[in-house]
């Protein structure tokens, strides 16, 4: 089934609010989507007709299995595009969300599959949020700061917690990208700096400041 971008936005918002608060009501969904409660009621009837959620007048609504799966598909597209915008086009975080909101509605299974492969099958978006797989399964990841990574354990760069020009300069210099393979080869107790191997590059040293702000998943 293919929904309109508007319907997709409803599904996505319900999913988020449900994940955050357990249940969603008409008013909170209206607030989240910046629309009226009346519009929400109308749409709930429609999405019930389309069998994406349970809905009983005055008794709230809830995504069913199909609705959940659809939401995860949208989130998958959104997060893959966000990854693309940052890792391939080098866009800044603040700018990518709105663009990904547009791109997420482009629907073509082969496109998303190929995009995923092209990006190296990332497990999280640039903010560190997990990307559901094709079947709608969110990977369970342990994300830790690089400074806490067990020595000699392979890990992957998942996100970076600040995006100052100084930080970007450093990442750039070390050729650290989202998705980069990374391993700590030595720790210096003296100043907390680390010797690390990034992808296939020769080893280099990262300061404790840097190692605090770079996040990786090690599973």
Partner DNA sequence: AAAAAAGTTTAGACAAATCTAAAAATTTAT
Partner DNA sequence: ATAAATTTTTAGATTTGTCTAAACTTTTTT
Interface positions, 33-62, toward DNA (CB under 7 A)? 33-46, 55, 57-60
**Residue 114 contact partner, candidates a second copy, DNA, none, CB within 5 to 8 A by sort of partner:** a second copy
x/- binding map, residues 4-33, to a second copy, per CB under 8 A? ------------------------------
Q: Single out the residue of 19, 27, 90, 172 in contact with DNA (rule: CB under 7 A).
A: 27
Closest approach, Cβ 211 to a second copy, in A, equals 29
Instruction: Find the part of the chain contacting a second copy (CB under 8 A) among 23-31, 55-63, 70-78, 87-95.
Output: 87-95
The answer to the question of residue 150 lying near a second copy (CB under 8 A) is no
Q: HSE on the CB side for 134, CA within 13 Å? A: 11
Place of tokens 């990307």: 131
Which class for 50: exposed (0-12), middle (13-18), buried (19 or more C-beta within 10 A)?
Answer: middle
27 vs 161, which CB is nearer to DNA? Answer: 27
The answer to the question of residue 102 lying near a second copy (CB under 8 A) is yes
How much helix, strand and coil, in percent to the nearest 5, is found in the chain?
A: 45, 15, 35
26 vs 107, which CB is nearer to a second copy? Answer: 107
**Residue 26 contact partner, candidates DNA, a second copy, none, CB within 5 to 8 A by sort of partner:** DNA
Cβ neighbours of residue 217 closer than 8 Å, sequence gap 6 or more: 123, 124, 141, 142, 143, 144, 155, 156, 158
Instruction: Find the part of the chain contacting a second copy (CB under 8 A) among 31-39, 57-65, 112-120, 148-156.
Output: 112-120
Q: At 215, is the secondary structure helix, strand, or coil?
A: strand
b/e per residue 140-174 (b: at least 16 CB within 10 A):
ebebbebbebeeeeebbbbbbeeeeeebeebbeeb
Q: In whole angstroms, what is the distance from residue 104 CA to residue 84 CA?
A: 12
6 vs 151, which CB is nearer to DNA? Answer: 6
Q: Single out the residue of 115, 167, 204, 209 in contact with a second copy (rule: CB under 8 A).
A: 115
**Residue 90 contact partner, candidates DNA, a second copy, none, CB within 5 to 8 A by sort of partner:** a second copy
Give the CA distances from residue 12 to residues 7, 71, 134, 218, in Å, rounded to whole numbers and listed in that order.
9, 5, 17, 29
Question: DSSP assignment of 127-152, as one string?
Answer: TSPBPP-TTSPPP---EEEGGGSPTT
- Return residues touching a second copy (CB under 8 A): 85, 88-91, 95, 98-99, 102-103, 105-108, 110-111, 114-115, 118
- Return residues touching DNA (CB under 7 A): 4, 6-7, 25-27, 33-46, 55, 57-60
């Amino acid at each position: 089934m293919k929904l309109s971008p508007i319907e997709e936005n409803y599904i996505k918002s319900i999913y988020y609010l449900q994940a955050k608060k357990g249940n969603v009501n008409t008013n909170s969904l209206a607030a989240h989507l910046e629309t009226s409660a009346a519009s929400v009621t109308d749409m709930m009837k429609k999405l019930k007709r389309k069998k994406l959620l349970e809905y009983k007048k005055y008794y709230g609504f809830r995504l069913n299995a199909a609705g959940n799966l659809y939401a995860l598909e949208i989130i998958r597209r959104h997060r893959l595009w966000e990854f693309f915008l940052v890792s391939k086009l080098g866009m800044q975080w603040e700018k990518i969300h709105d663009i990904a909101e547009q791109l997420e509605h482009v629907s073509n299974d082969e496109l998303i599959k190929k995009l995923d492969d092209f990006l190296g099958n990332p497990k999280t978006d640039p903010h560190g949020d997990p990307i559901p797989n094709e079947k709608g399964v969110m990977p369970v990841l342990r994300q830790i700061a690089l400074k806490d990574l067990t020595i000699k354990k392979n890990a992957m760069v998942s996100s970076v917690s600040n995006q100052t020009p100084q930080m970007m300069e450093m990442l750039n210099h070390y050729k650290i990208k989202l998705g980069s393979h990374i391993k700590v080869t030595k720790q210096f107790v003296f100043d907390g700096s680390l010797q690390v191997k990034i992808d296939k590059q020769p080893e280099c040293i990262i300061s404790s400041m840097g190692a605090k702000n770079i996040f990786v998943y090690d599973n």
